Structures are given as C-alpha cells and as structure tokens.
Copies of this chain bind each other. A is one copy, B any other.
Amino acid sequence: MAGNSFGHIFKLTTFGESHGPAIGGVIDGCPAGLEIDIDFIQDELSKRRPGQSDITTSRNEQDKVEFLSGIFEGKTTGTPIGFIIRNTDTKSSDYDHLKNTFRPSHADYTYEKKYEFRDFRGGGRASARETAARVVGGAIAKLLLKKIGVILVAYVSQIGTIKLNKQYDQINSDKIKESLVKCPDKKTSDKMQALIEEVKKTGDTVGGVVFCQIKNVPAGLGEPVFDKFEAELAKAVMSINAVKGFEIGSGFKAVEMKGSEHNDLFVAEKGIINTITNFSGGVQGGISNGQDIYFRAAFKPVATLMHDQVSVNKTGEKSIIKGKGRHDVCVVPRAVPIVEAMAAMVVVDFYLRTLSSKIG
C-alpha cells in the first residue's frame, strides 16, 4: 500500500534513506535452490555506484552488500533474502540549508505535503540511493534468468541531442561496459562523454534515453488485462527516479504507421513460429510472443544544478538554493543497471506467475 514493495511472487521490499545508517531490502518469493554468485551481485552494484568515474558524483560509496538471510551454503533456501548496504560517505551538513526550503523539481515540497515531516538530508527516501537495493534484487533475478536462458541488456541510446543511430539488434553488447557512458558505439559514446563534460563546466545537467532488450523470453509470459507485460514494465521503469517516458516496440512511432505496416506477420519454419517484423516489441495482448522484448525510457536532466536557483521556503518566502552537494551531471549511464534490474524482476515475476496459468 505504501508502495515500497515491487512484484507479486518475486517481491522486493526496499527501505532506507540517503543519509541514514543503511539502505537495504528483502526479496521474498525467490525459489529455493538458486546458486547465488555474490561477486556478480557486487559487480552489478559497481555499475550503479557513485564515485565510479569522473563523470559521476564524487560521493564515494563502496556499496558493499551484506546478506543476512535466505542463503545457505551458497544457495537460496526459498525464505526471504534480507540484505543491507551501509551508507558510509554521507555529508549531511551539506543539506542543513534544505530543512525549510524546497529545491525545484525535487521531492522536498511533495514529501512535506504528504507527510508533514521529512528527513531532508540528501533527499531522504526520495534519493536515487534507494535504487541500489533494486540493483541487488535485480541481480538475483538475473541469476534466475540465466538459468532459463533469458538475456537482458540495457544501454544508453541518447544523451541530450546525441543519439545512437543503430538498431538494437546491430549493437555489440560487450562494448557497453567499455564505455563510460554505457553506449555500445565508440564514436557515439565519445560524443556523449564530451557533451556531459561540456555541460558539467556550465554547472548544468542533461537527460538521456536508456534502451533495454530482452532476448529468449519464452512465449506465454504475462497476464492479459491490467497486468499486461508492457504495463508492468512501464510501471517498473516509470518508478525509477527521473523517468518521464516509456515506450515499447514501435512506441510513439506507431502513431504515424498504418496497420498494414505495423502488423507483425507470422512465419513458421520447421514448426517454429516467428514474426517477420517486431513492432509489437515482443508482446501481444499483454503476453510475450517469444520475439525480443525491447523498450526505451526517457530520463529528464538532473534537478540539482551547480547554479544558485530561486525557490521558496515552508512559509512561502523567497529563498535561494545554493548549488551545493555532490551530484551527477547526467545520471543516465548509472541508470542502466537500474533499468536492467527492474526489467529483470518483471520477467522473473511473470515467469513464476505463469507457472499456475494452466493445468499441468
């Protein structure tokens, strides 16, 4: 009800504030018998962690996860997996000036209206620090996906006006991790990086797009009405801080297409049914059809600037927000593992939900 849980069978509940002692979570509903590769999980966290390079915030968190339950002799036991990540590099005094003042396009004002009392330090619960817990949940989901052969990869396809001009099925996903900005095309990556550095100099910020593709999802996953595959993916992705748009398959481009162009015709070879095109993005009627699932998420520019900004305080008086704290100029590269985590949890959850769809 208070919205800190995600998923139906594979369910992640997260807790924690940016400047509290720790963040963490509980994964309930992970099947027993899954081998847990702690190094893999820690690597996933590293992709998201602050302080990883010059283009990210200088807050330096090792994001070392401690598992407290649900794993025994390296395997899941089917009981809830509790975990915490200590906050170590908090500079809460950076935020004293925000006790009574609302930063523009942050959640300070809306939390004040909802709760009438808030932990203002570093955005508290509204901070994207919370997403580290999602990455842990997603990493475990990915381990399960590996077992069933699903491949899930996300990358940055746009920063500001610089776009990757390649179809998702032409990219080499191994190149993603070589890129500071997580764009698999070297030339585009370099341009994106240059743009971010340029914007940084002006104290401003910039947005971008994360593209995600999921291969080998078995046909038949998803629920047909309110919990359509694309609906749960949309919720998952739109719940990530700073996301303003979501599209699957043809997305907004579908609007200008005719049905005769957009329909994905079936073909069968040796009894295996595929579609010629894939404007549907791998889902029809809310259920996977076995083709690649792919979607895009639009991220707005970071709201914290290194400029002073005019704002108001609790009593409705004018107030100046100083450009302070440690922040990203562009969060999109660090958002890639978060998008992957959310998508992975959606797929796993549908995989488990679908086990009861029919009489065996």
Nearest-Cβ distance from residue A271 to partner chain B, whole angstroms: 4
Nearest-Cβ distance from residue A341 to partner chain B, whole angstroms: 12
Cα(A179)–Cα(B311), bound, Å: 42
Cα(A119)–Cα(B80), bound, Å: 12
Copy number of this protein in the oligomer? Answer: 4
Q: Could you tell me if A5 and B28 are in contact, using CB atoms closer than 8 angstroms?
A: yes
Interface size bucket, A side?
35 or more
Tell me if A263 is interfacial: C-beta within 8 Å of chain B.
yes
- Residues of chain B with a CB closer than 8 A to A302's CB: 259
Where chain A touches its partner, the secondary structure class is mixed
Cα(A29)–Cα(B261), bound, Å: 36
User: From A82, which residue of chain B is reached at the shortest CB distance?
Assistant: B15
Tell me if A317 is interfacial: C-beta within 8 Å of chain B.
yes
Partner of A305, one of B13, B124, B227, B263: B263
- Residues of chain B with a CB closer than 8 A to A241's CB: 285
- Residues of chain B with a CB closer than 8 A to A2's CB: 9, 11, 28-29, 78-80, 223, 227, 353, 357
Tell me if A251 is interfacial: C-beta within 8 Å of chain B.
yes
Given A106-B284, A299-B255: A119 and B77 interface contact (C-beta under 8 Å): yes
- Best-buried of A77, A106, A225, A305 by chain B (most CB within 10 Å): A225
Q: Could you tell me if B238 and A285 are in contact, using CB atoms closer than 8 angstroms?
A: no
Known A3-B286, A105-B279, A234-B234; 13 more pairs at CB < 8 Å = A5-B13, A6-B226, A29-B356, A33-B358, A33-B359, A72-B118, A104-B265, A104-B266, A114-B219, A115-B358, A205-B259, A252-B252, A255-B300
A-B contact pairs, 23 of them (CB 8 A): A2-B79, A3-B286, A4-B226, A15-B80, A15-B81, A17-B72, A21-B68, A23-B69, A32-B117, A105-B279, A111-B285, A147-B359, A160-B256, A205-B259, A207-B262, A226-B236, A228-B238, A244-B254, A245-B254, A255-B298, A255-B300, A265-B311, A266-B312
